[in-house]
Structure 1
Amino acid sequence: MAYTIDRYPCEDAPRLGAMTLHPVAESVPRARRWFRKLITPYYPACSVDDCLLMLSELITNAVVHGKSDEPWVVRVEWFREGTSLRVEVHNPGLPGSVRLRHPDADDAHGRGLLLVDSIAHSWHAGPSHLGGTAVSFEMADAWPS
C-alpha cells in the first residue's frame, strides 16, 4: 500500500491538508518533508520548524504505540481555525495510554509530549473520529487575524 497526500483540500474547508502513512520509522522524515512543502504556501507566521519537531514526535509515538490486529496506517491532518493551526495525528492505539511523562535524566524515551507541551499553545489526546487515538497540537496566532 502506498502512502497518500491530500494536496488540494476544498477551498472553503478548514482542513489544509492530510497524509496517510505506513506505521514505520521512515514515515517520520517523509511526513516532515511533505508537511513543510504543503504548509509553506499558506505562509504561517508560526515556526514551521517547531511544527515539524512536534509532528515528528507525534508520528513517532503513533508508530511506536499504535496497535491493531489488522493492517493500519497513521493519518495526519492539519487545519486552519481562525488564526490557529491545528495538527492531528491518528492511530489505532488506545486513547487512555497517551499521557505526559516526566522521565529521569537517564531515561532514553518519554520526552515527546514534553516537547509538544513546551512548544505548542495547547495539545490534546482523545478518541479519533477514525477510531483509535488522535493526538493534536495547536499553534495560536499562526496567521494574522
Structure 2
Amino acid sequence: MAYTIDRYPCEDSPRLGAMTLQPVPESVPRARRWFRKFIAPYNPACSVDDCTLMISELVTNAIRYGKSDDPWLVRVEWFREGSSLRVEVHNPGFPANVRLRRPEANDAHGRGLLLVDSIADSWHSGPSHLGGTVVSFVVADAWPA
C-alpha cells in the first residue's frame, strides 16, 4: 500500500496516530489533511494550524533530504505525553545532516527548522528507532493538565 494511516482511539494510549507517506511532494498536503482529520477527535487546545505548518516543513525536509538506495517511506507519528503533543517525522537520511539554518532574506530554502524552532516549545533530531533520522517537535499545553 502506498499510503497508510494508523489510528489509536484509546485516549490513554500515548501514540494517538501515525501515517506512512511516499517521498513525493504530494505527500506534504496529504500529511496536513490527515493530521487535521485524525487529531480532531482528541480536541487539542493548541493551534492545529501551527502543528500542520511544522509537519509540512518536516515532511518536506524528510522528502528532500531522505536518502536510501532502496525504496523508502516517510513516517509521521504523534503522541500525547501528559498535556503535551509530540510529533515525529522519520526518514532514511543521516541524523548528522539535520541542522538549523539562518537563511538570508533572498534564500529560497532553509526556513523549515527555523519555523519549527520558533513555533514549537522544543524540537529534537537524532537517530530514528526505524533507522535513519527522526526530527520531532513538542507543543506544551496541547491539552488541559
**Common fold by TM > 0.5:** yes
Any gaps of 5 or more consecutive residues in structure 1? none
Residue aligned with 2:123, SS: strand
Q: TM-score, normalised by structure 1?
A: 0.97
1:16 corresponds in structure 2 to: 16
Deviation at 1:33, TM superposition (A): 0.4
Aligned residues: 145
The aligned residue for residue 83 of structure 1 is 83
Cα RMSD between the aligned structures? 1.0
State how far apart, in whole Å, the 2-side matches of 1:141 and 1:92 are. Answer: 31
Taking only the aligned residue pairs, the percentage that are identical comes to: 81
Query: For 1:46-84, what per-residue CA distance to the aligned partner results, in whole angstroms no more than 9, with x for missing partners?
Result: 000000000000000000000000000000000000000
3-state SS of the aligned residue for 1:107? Answer: coil
Q: What residue ranges of structure 2 are gaps of 5+ in the alignment?
A: none
Alignment of 1:1-145 (within 5 A): 1-8=1-8, 12-145=12-145
Cα distance in 1 for residues equivalent to 2:106 and 2:142: 35
**Contact between 2:8 and 2:15, CA under 8 Å: does it hold in 1?**
no
Q: Which AA in structure 2 matches 1:111? A: R
